[in-house]
């Protein structure tokens, strides 16, 4: 216990030292922004109370689960449910977003960082009372994840390091050893990978029917789990019910079996209005609210039946980016991007001018009802440890935008209120975003007017999400500027696809054989170094540098993040709201006040 744990300790110390950097667009006289860093600090010191066993919590979701199979699942609607059912060797702490022991009690790392030995907790059981052993781990990796018959497999890519599988072997029933081809820093975090029971699934794998297993029509009783809850029933477009797993490994400080709750019920709701109403009536216990619903909820909070929490910026960025592809179509020899436009888009001064021209404050006020935060770099505060708060910012400043454009040679030479570049080409380009996302559409509308107001001529288009992705990632890369969004994550390396110049999601110039600019070269080397750097502090320094460089070179011009607004019924106790983890991260310790059944 080991180097990993020691470095974990130093991380949390470091986290609490991080400067309290409040970034919130607010006008004088406005309602106060929330000090989410203070809430986070409080959350880290939270000591859970000893609860009472029993009761249930009712949550809501918009979409039906598509399967309960954590290996083949590709959509988030599945992991929303499987997170209750399965645990990995480690789990990600809901407050710190850092890995902590779960099925494994501890681990040793060899000096070269290539051999990791995990010691399972003694006496832990599957929900059908069969012991959880190293054989289950070996089975999950060797026969499920690395089994090419099982398609799709969402986690296979993560565990192929330099395209090579890990060597996974059970040394004895409680010890499992991983041998890595090269050091892999995010390894520990990726071991939150769900482990599945060997004794249930081995015969199914032999029959080659595992891809269909754990579907929505599978008998819930056959789903043997290690997590706090087992599936009890699922009724299409009505509800998903989980019951407590009596053999879950966690116990509270006085030795009571966790979880406290008998049941977690997901009510499948039709729309946000229905969800809001049901929450206000007490029919559901938890609500993730939008900014425009905040006033109404805050007023009703006074009645005392629920509490509203503002927890700082959410994850899930929206960003504007320009096509910087210098490639040529191999068939026709024509450049993908018109050379005039390419010279603008590849000019960092131009991109900075665009960044200054975006009225982030208005986006927050208009789209998010004042409840939002500007974003400047790829990571968000809610993503925890690796977030770098001190990067270059581009507060809305038309003067500065115009000055930078002038510096880049753009002037309105013929007084038509459209700028022209040095050669006299009008600053004219297309701009598109996907339809179907209301928040993003409204942001795009504001961006369009912002860019027009500094003298760009914009051809705005809404496209289906799929067609935008197709345009960005396929030849002939026919696009100029796009507003899109990505969901974030706590581990920077998992964004390699976007940030490494060879990545296929390196949207401004995907799948480069050789980085096309010096700053891309340096970001490439950060990602190459970061993945093998096992010292967490040195790693943080690397990724800090990446975030600074991303903000300085603005390949992606970030816009705004919505505030996390969560409401929870007051009958639910032991809640520990955390900007990093939200409200439900400690669901196994949530309990219901007895006698509070009247709704």
Applying CB under 8 A, the residues found at the interface with other proteins are: 27, 29-32, 58, 60, 66, 74, 151-152, 154, 235, 237-239, 265, 267, 269-271, 273-275, 277-279, 281, 283-284, 290-296, 298-299, 359, 362, 365-367, 369-371, 435-436, 442, 445-446, 449, 461-464, 466-467, 469-470, 473, 504
Shortest approach of other proteins to residue 284 CB, angstroms?
5
Q: How far is CA 104 from CA 188, 252, 376, in A?
A: 11, 18, 38
Shortest approach of other proteins to residue 503 CB, angstroms?
12
Q: Is 12 helix (H, G, I), strand (E, B) or coil?
A: helix
User: Cα separation of 142 and 166, whole Å?
Assistant: 9
Q: Is 139 helix (H, G, I), strand (E, B) or coil?
A: helix
Angle between helices 348-357 and 398-407 (to 10 degrees): 160
Short-list 365, 344, 460, CA closest to 407: 344
Shortest approach of other proteins to residue 30 CB, angstroms?
5
Short-list 137, 130, 131, CA closest to 88: 137
Shortest approach of other proteins to residue 429 CB, angstroms?
17
Shortest approach of other proteins to residue 265 CB, angstroms?
7
Token code pair at residue 504: 């296929």
Shortest approach of other proteins to residue 401 CB, angstroms?
16
User: Cα separation of 169 and 52, whole Å?
Assistant: 40
DSSP label of 212: G
**For other proteins, the closer CB: 174 or 357:** 357
Rounded to a whole number, what is the distance in angstroms from the first to the last CA of the chain? 48
Shortest approach of other proteins to residue 57 CB, angstroms?
11
- Contact by Cβ (8 Å): 240, 68: no
Shortest approach of other proteins to residue 578 CB, angstroms?
22
Short-list 488, 489, 490, 492, CA closest to 539: 492
- Contact by Cβ (8 Å): 100, 388: no
User: Cα separation of 483 and 384, whole Å?
Assistant: 25
**For other proteins, the closer CB: 340 or 366:** 366
**For other proteins, the closer CB: 153 or 536:** 153
**For other proteins, the closer CB: 41 or 263:** 263
Shortest approach of other proteins to residue 135 CB, angstroms?
28
The per-residue DSSP string of 308-344 comes to EEEEEE-S-EEEEEE-----B-TTT--BSS-HHHHHH
Q: Is 302 helix (H, G, I), strand (E, B) or coil?
A: coil
**For other proteins, the closer CB: 167 or 272:** 272
User: Cα separation of 58 and 345, whole Å?
Assistant: 49
**For other proteins, the closer CB: 152 or 203:** 152
Shortest approach of other proteins to residue 268 CB, angstroms?
8
Residue with tokens 């009505």: 238
560: enclosing H helix or E strand: strand 560-569
**For other proteins, the closer CB: 371 or 419:** 371
| Cβ neighbours of 28 (radius 10 Å) | 4
Short-list 200, 473, 485, 184, CA closest to 317: 485
Q: How far is CA 541 from CA 97, 253, 285, 380, 550, in A?
A: 18, 37, 41, 16, 14
- Contact by Cβ (8 Å): 496, 503: yes
Shortest approach of other proteins to residue 473 CB, angstroms?
8
Shortest approach of other proteins to residue 455 CB, angstroms?
16
Residue with tokens 């946000």: 272
Shortest approach of other proteins to residue 307 CB, angstroms?
15
**For other proteins, the closer CB: 161 or 468:** 468
Shortest approach of other proteins to residue 343 CB, angstroms?
28
**For other proteins, the closer CB: 330 or 466:** 466
485: enclosing H helix or E strand: strand 481-486
- Contact by Cβ (8 Å): 182, 162: yes
**For other proteins, the closer CB: 167 or 435:** 435
User: Cα separation of 445 and 439, whole Å?
Assistant: 10
Q: How far is CA 511 from CA 378, 514, 583, in A?
A: 19, 9, 39
- Contact by Cβ (8 Å): 178, 168: yes
Residue 8: what are its φ and ψ, rounded to 5°? -60, -45
Q: How far is CA 493 from CA 18, 378, 539, in A?
A: 21, 12, 10
DSSP label of 130: P
**For other proteins, the closer CB: 176 or 311:** 311
**For other proteins, the closer CB: 498 or 536:** 498
**For other proteins, the closer CB: 75 or 552:** 75
Shortest approach of other proteins to residue 56 CB, angstroms?
9
**For other proteins, the closer CB: 24 or 245:** 24
Q: How far is CA 98 from CA 4, 190, 191, 319, 385, in A?
A: 11, 11, 12, 27, 8
Longest CA span, the chain: 80
**For other proteins, the closer CB: 551 or 568:** 568
């Amino acid at each position: 216990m080991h180097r990993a744990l020691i470095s974990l300790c130093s991380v949390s110390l470091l986290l609490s030292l991080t400067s309290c950097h409040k970034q919130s667009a607010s006008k004088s006289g406005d309602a106060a922004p929330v000090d989410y860093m203070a809430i986070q600090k409080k959350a880290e010191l939270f000591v859970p109370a000893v609860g009472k066993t029993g009761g249930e919590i009712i949550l809501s979701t918009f979409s039906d689960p598509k399967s309960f199979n954590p290996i083949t699942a590709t959509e988030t609607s599945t992991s929303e449910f499987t997170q209750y059912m399965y645990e990995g060797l480690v789990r990600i702490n809901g407050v710190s977003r850092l890995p902590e022991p779960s099925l494994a009690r501890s681990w040793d790392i060899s000096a070269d960082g290539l051999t990791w030995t995990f010691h399972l907790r003694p006496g832990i059981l599957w929900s059908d009372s069969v012991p959880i052993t190293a054989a289950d781990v070996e089975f999950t990796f060797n026969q499920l994840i690395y089994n090419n018959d099982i398609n799709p497999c969402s986690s296979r890519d993560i565990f192929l390091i330099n395209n090579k599988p890990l060597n996974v072997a059970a040394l004895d029933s409680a010890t499992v050893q991983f041998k890595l081809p090269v050091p892999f820093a995010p390894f520990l975090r990726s071991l939150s990978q769900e482990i599945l029971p060997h004794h249930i699934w081995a015969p199914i794998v032999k029959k080659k029917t595992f891809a269909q297993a754990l579907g929505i029509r599978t008998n819930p009783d056959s789903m043997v789990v290690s997590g706090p809850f087992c599936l009890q029933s699922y009724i299409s477009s009505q509800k998903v019910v989980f019951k407590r797993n009596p053999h879950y490994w966690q116990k509270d400080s006085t030795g009571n079996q966790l979880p406290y709750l008998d049941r977690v019920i997901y009510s499948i709701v039709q729309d946000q209005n229905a969800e809001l109403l049901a929450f206000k009536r007490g029919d559901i216990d938890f609500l993730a609210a939008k900014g425009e619903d905040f006033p109404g909820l805050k007023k009703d909070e006074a009645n005392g039946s629920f509490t509203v929490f503002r927890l700082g910026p959410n994850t899930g960025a929206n960003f504007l980016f320009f096509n910087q592809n210098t490639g040529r179509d191999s068939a026709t020899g024509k450049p993908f991007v018109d050379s005039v436009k390419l010279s603008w888009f590849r000019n960092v001064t131009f991109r900075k001018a665009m960044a200054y021209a975006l009225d982030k404050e208005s986006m927050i006020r208009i789209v998010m009802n004042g409840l939002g935060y500007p974003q400047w770099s790829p990571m968000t505060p809610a993503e925890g440890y690796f977030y770098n708060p001190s990067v270059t910012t581009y507060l809305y400043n038309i003067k500065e935008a115009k000055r930078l454009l002038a510096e880049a040679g753009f002037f309105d030479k013929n007084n038509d209120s459209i700028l022209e570049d040095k050669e006299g080409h009008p600053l004219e380009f297309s701009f598109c975003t996907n339809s179907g996302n209301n928040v993003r559409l409204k942001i795009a509308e504001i961006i369009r007017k912002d860019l027009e107001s500094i003298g760009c001529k914009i051809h705005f288009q809404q496209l289906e999400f799929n067609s935008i992705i197709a345009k960005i990632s396929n030849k002939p890369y026919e696009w100029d500027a796009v507003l899109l969004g990505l969901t974030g994550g706590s581990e920077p390396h998992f964004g390699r696809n976007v940030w490494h110049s060879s990545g296929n999601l390196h949207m401004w110039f995907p799948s480069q054989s050789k980085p096309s600019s010096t700053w891309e070269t340096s970001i490439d080397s950060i990602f190459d170094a970061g993945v093998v750097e096992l010292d967490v502090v040195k790693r943080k320094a690397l990724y800090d540098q990446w975030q600074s460089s991303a903000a300085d070179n603005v390949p992606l011009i970030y816009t705004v993040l919505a505030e996390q607004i969560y409401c929870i019924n007051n009958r639910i106790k032991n809640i520990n709201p955390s900007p990093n983890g939200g409200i439900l991260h400690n669901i196994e310790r949530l309990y219901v006040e007895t006698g509070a059944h009247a709704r």
